[in-house]
A and B are shown apart, each in its own frame.
Chain A
Amino acid sequence: QVQLQESGPGLVKPSQTLSLSCTVSGGSISSGSYYWSWIRQHPGKGLEWIGYIYYSGTTHYNPSLKSRVTISVDRSKNQFSLKLSSVTAADTAVYYCARDAGITLTGYYYGMDVWGQGTTVTVSS
């Protein structure tokens, strides 16, 4: 059974870079056609997709964050990571990593079937 666990600093200063990792256990990050994703949730708000790295290494980001986001994978550690640069208080949120089983050519979307527990990141000086 695949499990995900986020890790990283809970406090980041404004203008710095937020860095989080997601460790995959119970399965290989390289197996299956999955989109390894990051999602965030601002306090008391809904879910916002940040981006994903496909199992092949291809990345895709939410246009609203694209200029500041980098998602990468370390297959030797079975991890994928998020970097968000030039953070402000508006980036304070709970950050989740998730496995997205993706969509077929006929539009059948399987959705995010495995989620990490989430990690709270506060941007403050």
Chain B
Amino acid sequence: QSVLTQPPSASGTPGQTVTISCSGSSSNIGTDTVNWYQQLPGTAPKLLIYSNQRPSGVPDRFSGSRSGTSASLAISGLQSEDEADYYCAAWDDSLNGPVFGGGTKLTVL
């Protein structure tokens, strides 16, 4: 059972905007910024968003936000290549280490 809670699945059609939620607690999301990872089938996770910012090379279709003990990843202009698993992560002050969500499988219909 993951420390952060994500919906197991999400879907959308090409061009749509999809939002994936992530819920935590006061010791992680409530205190620290959230990161998002994209994992394409058979590959290692890739840092997609860190603290609401995008690493170089990540399209601006991807954006993150945080409010209280929850966070969200929004993907606009959905493309077939966005079909992947998405994980949220945050530093947990009680653990003194990172915690992950259980992952959301995004299907592009």
Contacts and interface: CB of A to CB of B under 8 A. Distances in A.
B is a partner of A = yes
Interface of A: 37, 45-49, 51-52, 60, 62-63, 96, 100-101, 103, 107-113, 115-118
A11 B45 CA distance: 23
A98 to B, nearest CB: 8
Given A60-B96, A109-B33, A115-B44, A47 B51 contact: no
Contact of A47 (B50, B96, B100): B100
Contact of B98 (A100, A108, A115, A117): A100
B100 A46 contact: yes
B32 A46 contact: no
A48 B100 contact: yes
Closest 8 CB pairs of A and B: A111-B35, A107-B32, A115-B44, A111-B50, A46-B102, A46-B103, A109-B91, A47-B100
Given A109-B51, A117-B44, A46 B101 contact: yes
A108 B45 CA distance: 20
15 contacts: A46-B87, A46-B100, A46-B103, A47-B89, A49-B97, A60-B96, A62-B95, A108-B51, A109-B50, A111-B35, A111-B50, A111-B51, A111-B98, A112-B47, A113-B50
Interface of B: 2, 31-35, 37, 43-47, 50-51, 55, 87, 89-91, 95-103
Nearest to B4: A46
Contacts of B89: 47, 111-112
Contact of B99 (A45, A49, A101, A113): A49
